[in-house]
Amino acid sequence: MVTIPAGLMLFSRRIIAEVAMLAGLMQECKFRFPCGGHRQDATAEESPEGGMGCGCRKARLLARAYPAPQDIIGFRFLPFAMKFALTFLLAALLPSVVLAQQILAPQPPALAARAWLLYDLVSNQVLVAENSDERFEPASLTKLMTAYLTFAAIRQNKLALAQPVVPAAEALPASDEETRMLLEPGKPATVEELLHGLIVQSGSDAARVLALAVSGSEEAFVALMNKEAQRLGMKNTRFANATGQSHPQHYSTAYDLALLASAIARDFPERYPIYSLREYQYNGIKQTNRNRLLWVDPYVDGMKTGYSESGGFCLVASARRDTRRLVSVLLGAASDQQRATESQKLLNYGFQYYEAVRLYQKNQPVTSLTLWKGTRNKLEIGFRNDLFLSIPKGMQAQLKATTETQQPLIAPVSGGQKIGVLKLALAGKPYAEFPLVALEPVPLANIFSRGWDSIRLFFQQGIF
């Protein structure tokens, strides 16, 4: 092993830092000899510093800070061996500097909130997060689950959009502190109207009426809410009511709320456009959507706001650009305005610095494995759905994939059975893992083929 003297290492670091600074200045100026991006016909007389150049301020700065090697005092008198050594050192170490700059992931913005998360629906990945598993009072964000279960009841033909529902007196709020769509006792409203009141106006009265329409009672509806939360993987969520009213056993997290919002967009795309409505009128009174981003960001098309004294101002927002959809969850902001501006920062960060790339198409073989005792001796493995991965932009070339599989692989194998894992590394660091499954079933072979494979396995791997 070659040991580099400490003095030389310090000197080399200084050289690398200077070269990196030079590269940054040149990139900012779009510097190409004599000076790309500016006038190419500048003469020595036009440049105050003399010599070939465009005379721009950045070019003059470069000329002062980084003169040609032959102009550096003493350079021409350095021994040839030292010149060669320095040149070799720069050639060897400079690529490391460039690589370090390339793999440096952009830092997420500093957000004025207690917890937040950014989720990419295309790849089903969390891009960035802070305190995403900390429990919060979800307040009116609870109504995302109320809407999800109502959408499901409509799909299952338990409810119909045009179906009238008569609000019971006990379902209507007794206090003006709750947000309402202003339902009246005994006056029927259709399921479609109730959904608009729930989503656009955040009506707690609409939430209770829908809960009774779906399950017969709010208690039964809450049990359904918690069951569905577990099915969706919301492990740190518990509901105590359909409206988001404060309760010691009513809580969720930024991560769980992202799962719920994603499920709505994914499972009920035909109902999702309701979340993009800026206002809705019922009973002669027009109310506006509290999601400010619907007015200021043309890409934002949902989803839900919430507020409580303990949880602060909260917002689940979703935006779509081309085929990409991101969901942001921001909890614990200090004001209505702040939850909107901070959520917009988060969404813009995700679209600006990350991209979702398709690595494999569904049912595309990733690799084939030797299969023993089956009707075929090869098994193709891959993914049942297209595999997308969200990575910092411009880093796809630094993505490396390896597979780990069960060996030896012995039939029978069912279609979709997990066979191994695809491990992805980005710039040499572990980044993501995905299960690999059998693309087709392979039954057992006849007794003679199985016997022959048993003999081969015994002599090759010591397995009978």
Annotated catalytic residue 378: no
Instruction: Answer yes or no: are the C-beta atoms of 119 and 111 closer than 8 Å.
Output: no
- Taking every pair of Cα atoms in the chain, the longest distance, rounded to a whole number of angstroms, is 99
Helix (H) or strand (E) holding 153, with range, is helix 143-155
Report the candidate in 359, 327, 350, 328 with the shortest Cα–Cα distance to residue 426: 359
Buried b (16+ CB within 10 A) or exposed e, 383-400: beeebbbbbbeebeebbe
Q: Which of 47, 143, 318, 390 is catalytic?
A: 143
Cβ contact 380:360 at 8 Å: no
Q: CA–CA separation, 161 vs 336, rounded Å?
A: 32
- 123 among known catalytic residues: no
Residue 246 CA: distances (Å) to CA of 167, 191, 203, 250, 307: 23, 26, 16, 7, 10
Which SS3 state, helix, strand or coil, does residue 212 take? Answer: helix
How far, in Å, CA of 119 to CA of 127, rounded? Answer: 6
Q: Spell out the residues 6+ positions from residue 3 whose beta carbon is closer than 8 angstroms to its own.
A: none
- Hey, what are 132's tokens? 């995403």
Strand partners, 374: 444
In this structure, the number of other CB atoms found within 10 A of the CB of residue 69 comes to: 12
Q: What is the DSSP string of 229-294?
A: HHHTT-TT-B-S-SS----TT-BB-HHHHHHHHHHHHHH-TTTGGGGG-SEEEETTEEEE-S-THH
Spot the catalytic one: 47, 132, 202, 328: 202
| Whether 202 is catalytic | yes
> For tokens 């969706």, what's the residue?
232
Number of Cα atoms under 13 Å in the Cβ half of residue 306: 31
Q: Mind telling me the catalytic residues?
A: 140, 143, 202
